[in-house]
Amino acid sequence: MTDQDTLRRFIFEQAGVRGEWLKLTDSWQAVSDNHAYPPEVKEQLGHAVAAATMLAATIKFNGALVLQAQGEGPLKAVVAQCTHDRCIRGLARYREPVVAGDLSQLYGSGRLVLTIETERKQPYQGIVTLDGDNLAQALENYYQQSEQLPTRLWLFANETTVSGLFLQALPESSGFGSDWERIVMLADTISADELLDLSCEAVLHRLFHEETVRLFQPESIRFKCSCSNGKIERTLKSLGRIALEEILEERDAITVDCEFCNQQYRFDRVDVERLLIAETDLGTSKISH
């Protein structure tokens, strides 16, 4: 099937509005199949994955955009990440029972944190209260507060598919308020079933056949976890020799599971000793600099 695991950007050139359409199937199943999430949790994770993917596509950067919704309610944390090369991963932490509801019922008093991690610079971080009926609304508030750019999102998720629609007024288009309102009104007629089932072209035709829309080339999205032996090693090193040796007194090896992909990393005594020696070397080279 075409149009699966795909993001399409589009633009209403005359109206000064940009948009994105998203559908994830295999990549979404790869994210969610790593855990036996209840349907309500899975839906929230799907919204977060869709949002992170679409937000990452709005910016030019080299790194990862991380969306984190955190609270004290039944849903404790939902994390979704999308890199500049369109690799996604995500996870949810919760305590049962999780009953469908608005954000305050799901998260209690929560907050939404958006982080853009790049290799060189300090990460950018934006935080907003987790208010509203759903994640889409919380993000609309975020854009209102942080960028003052009218933005709307439609996020839907089920067992097999995640889909999303994103609209944003371009900064230079402030004089065209009525265009923005008309386009949003048209988009608001989309149903969850339509957005989950239809192709991008079909959605754009269904909503905007009277508008002039320029549609860009499809971009592929895939699931790929960014965990690695090296990253786990750095975490272990930071714990220090005493802590690591204490763990090894009780067992043969230190095992670390990646929460995103369930990959297990195992470090026995020899591995840990190698790590700690490498740490010393690093220290020496620092001094000689």
Summarize as ranges the residues that interact with Zn ion (CB under 5 A).
225, 227, 258, 260-261, 263
CB of 7 within 8 A of CB of 53? yes
For the bound state, the minimum distance from the C-beta of residue 247 to Zn ion, rounded and expressed in Å, comes to 21
CA 39 – CA 19 distance, rounded (Å): 28
149 vs 227 by CB, closer to Zn ion = 227
Query: Smallest gap, in angstroms, from Cβ of residue 145 to Zn ion?
Result: 33
Q: Of the two residues 113 and 261, which places its CB atom closer to Zn ion in the complex?
A: 261
Is 20 in contact with 177 (CB distance < 8 Å)? no
Tell the smallest beta-carbon distance from residue 274 to Zn ion (Å).
Answer: 22
The two tokens of residue 160 are 């097999």
For Zn ion, the closer of residues 196 and 227 by Cβ is 227
In the complex, the smallest distance separating the C-beta of residue 252 from Zn ion, rounded to whole angstroms, is 23
CA 129 to chain centre: 17
Query: What's the min distance (Å) between Cβ of 108 and Zn ion?
Result: 28
CB of 257 to Zn ion, least distance (A): 9
Which CB, 176 or 223, lies closer to Zn ion? Answer: 223
Our CB check for Zn ion shows the closer of 217 and 264 to be: 264
Nearer to Zn ion, 87 or 169 (CB): 87
In the bound state with Zn ion, the residue whose beta carbon lies nearer, of 227 and 256, is 227
CB of 75 to Zn ion, least distance (A): 21
Nearest residue to 80 (alpha-carbon basis) of 220, 244, 248, 260: 260
